[in-house]
Structure 1
Amino acid sequence: MLSDGFHDIPKGKVAMVVTDLEMRAPQLRGVPMPDGVSFAPLARDVTLYRDLFARVGRDWLWYGRSLLDDRALGTILHDADVHLFTLRKDGRPEALLELDFRHDGACELAYFGLTSALIGTGSGAYLMDRAIELAFERGIDRFHLHTCTIDSPQALGFYRRAGFTPTRQRIEVADDPRISLGYDPALAPHVPLFRP
Structure 2
Amino acid sequence: MKTENPPLPSGYSAVPPGKLANVETRLEMFARPPAKAAPETDASLVLKRWLSPEIEAYRALFRAVGEDWMWVSRLVMADDKLAAILRDPQVEVFRLMDGDRAIGLLELDFREESECELTFFGLVADAIGKGAGRFLMDRAIEIAWSRPIRRFWVHTCTFDHPSAVKFYQRSGFRPYAFMVEVIDDPRLVGLMPKNAAAHVPLIEF
2:158 is aligned with what amino acid?
T
The alignment status of 1:29 with 2:36, answered yes or no, reads: yes
Once superposed, which parts of structure 1, at least 4 consecutive aligned residues long, lie more than 3 Å away? none
Alignment of 1:1-196 (within 5 A): 1-27=7-33, 28-32=35-39, 34-35=41-42, 36-45=44-53, 46-196=55-205
CA distance in 2, matches of 1:61, 1:104: 29
Percentage of identical aligned residues: 44
Structure 2 unaligned runs (5+)?
1-6
SS in 2 for 1:177: coil
SS in 1 for 2:64: helix
1:39 is aligned with what amino acid?
L
Structure 1 unaligned runs (5+)?
none
CA distance in 2, matches of 1:23, 1:33: 25
What TM-score do you get using the length of structure 2 for normalisation?
A: 0.90
Q: Which moved more, 1:65-74 or 1:28-37?
A: 28-37
1:24 is aligned with what amino acid?
F
1:44 is aligned with what amino acid?
S
SS in 1 for 2:125: coil
CA distance in 2, matches of 1:153, 1:41: 28
What TM-score do you get using the length of structure 1 for normalisation?
A: 0.94
Figure out how many residues of one structure are paired with residues of the other and give that number. Answer: 196
Cα RMSD (Å): 1.4
8 A Cα contact 2:24 2:180, kept in partner: yes
